[in-house]
Each structure stands twice: as structure tokens, then as C-alpha cells.
Amino acid sequence: MHFYILTLFPDMVMNGLTDSIIGRAMKNGYLKIEAVNIRDYAFNKHQSVDDYPYGGGAGMLMQAEPVYQAYSAVLEKIKSENPEAQPRVVYLSPQGGTFSQEMAEDYAKEEDVILLCGHYEGIDERVLEEIVTDYVSIGDYVLTGGELPAMVMIDTISRLIPGVLHNDVSAEFDSFQDNLLEYPQYSRPEEWHGKKVPEVLMSGHHANIEKWRHEQSLIRTAKNRPDLLEKAELTENDKKVLET
């Protein structure tokens, strides 16, 4: 999978993603992440990319042309490898639909994704109309730019790509995969600050362990995210656990 990020702050994105699991996945060839500096496509000698909004109002807007040129360069590159490609172009904005695990699973099927990061008060509407296919928000709050949201999307999508996590099973059993939160986990020592690891986890009885973990997931979800339970497929036994 290949992510292209159109941004005024390429270092911010690359520095934030090249460590840890995502960095390793890039080195091992499961993932490509390329930040394209929109300023490189500025069309005046001052390399400015922003201007005042028509009609007045606070702040500056990113102009259409540099964004369009940066996008066109990326699209040309993608098409040179696959002339049929029609990559999704995501504009990160609080006005988009809220990003979810389900959306991440959908994006993980794509070959190429272009992420457009806005700054200042936003981007000239005309270029958005022309190139953007998806508007995505990461939550109901306003950040200073789209870079952190782009990184959130890339991180979430990347860990679903086979090979990125060493242990493919762990993505499968994550929180949200079945609208239930993850069960609690414990490692050595057996006792810490007077708290013991639950007996069942030391029993070696796999069926009992699985049953306990599932029940813990149910209880946790009911306590912390009751809204998710409405979407979960609950068995009769699950309902009984939740009643007690």
C-alpha cells in the first residue's frame, strides 16, 4: 500500500511515522509513505501558497493552484505505474464523516491513497471540488492542520495490512473488531502491588480463558462504551452475563 500526503509540513508527517511498527513495515516493504511538499508547487517567486479569502474574514486560505499541481504530480506518478488507477483523495477536515475502524478496513483494500492536509483557515473550495473524493474527520474538535489526522489514518490503516503487525492475530482480536472493547491483559510478575493475576489465566484451560476474556470484554464495553453494545451481536448467554 502506498500513501501520498500532500502537506506544507512533510517533516512533521515523516518524522512522526518512521519509528516503531510503521517504520519497520516501510523498511520491510509492506508500506510506502511519501510526503509531497505543496510549497514545491508554488507558482510565484516568493513560494507563497496562501492568500486572503474573498469576502473577508479571519486568516488565510491555501490557494487552489499549488494544491492542484502537487496532486497532479502524484496522480501522474501513480498512473505511470498503473494507468487504470483511480486513487481515493482524502481531505482531512472537521467537516468530514468521522473516521472509524470500519472505514480503516475499507481503505486497507486500496493500492494507493492520497491524503490532503489543509492549514490556515482551509483550502480554496474549487480545488477541493475538483480532486477530493472523501472528506474525513478524526473527531469533533478542531486541530491546526490535517497532518495529525493524516497520521492517525495512516497508522490505523497500516496495522491492518497483512505483514505489518508481526502477529496477524492481534489485529483480529482488537477492540472494535466486533464492537466490543478488548479484555484486560496481564504479564509477569504474578503479583504486583498486592494485585494478583486472575486465576483462570494461569490455568492453561484455553476454553475457560476464552470464555473469561469474552465476558470481560462484554463487562468493559457495558461500563465504558454502552453505545457500542447496541451494534454488537450478542448471544443469549452474553445477555445473561450483562444482566448479572
Is 84 a catalytic site residue? no
Residues between 143 and 162 that touch ligand ADE (CB under 6 A): 143, 146, 149
Which DSSP string corresponds to 134-191? EEEESSSS--SSSHHHHHHHHHHHHTTSTTSSS-HHHHHTSTTTTS-PPPP---S-SE
Q: What is the C-alpha to C-alpha distance for residues 75 and 132, in angstroms, rounded to an integer?
A: 12
State yes or no: 148 annotated in a binding site: no
CB of 6 to ligand ADE, least distance (A): 13
Interaction between residue 122 and ligand ADE (CB under 6 A): no
Q: Which of 122, 113, 118 is nearest to 34 (CA)?
A: 113
Residue 141 touches ligand ADE, criterion: CB under 6 A: yes
Q: Which is nearer to ligand ADE, 23 or 122 (CB)?
A: 122
**In the complex, least distance from residue 237 CB atom to ligand ADE, rounded to whole angstroms:** 39
Q: Please tell me whether 152 is known to bind a ligand.
A: no
Interface of this chain with ligand ADE, residues 84 to 113, rule: CB under 6 A: 92-94
Phi first, then psi: what are they for 6, rounded to 5°? Answer: -90, 115
Residues 158-217 that bind ligand ADE (CB under 6 A): none
- The interface region with ligand ADE, picked from 37-45, 134-142, 194-202, 218-226 by CB under 6 A, is 134-142
Q: Is 121 a catalytic residue?
A: yes
Assess whether the previous peptide bond of 66 is cis (omega < 30° from 0): no
Q: What is the DSSP letter of 59?
A: S
What SS3 state is found at 104? helix
Of 1 and 153, the one with the shorter C-beta distance to ligand ADE is 153
Separation between Cα atoms, residue 61 and residue 177, nearest integer Å: 39
Q: Least distance to ligand ADE from the beta carbon of 41, Å? A: 21
Cite the active site residues.
Answer: 94, 121, 159, 174
The site for ligand ADE (CB under 6 A) is made up of 92-94, 137-139, 141-143, 146, 149
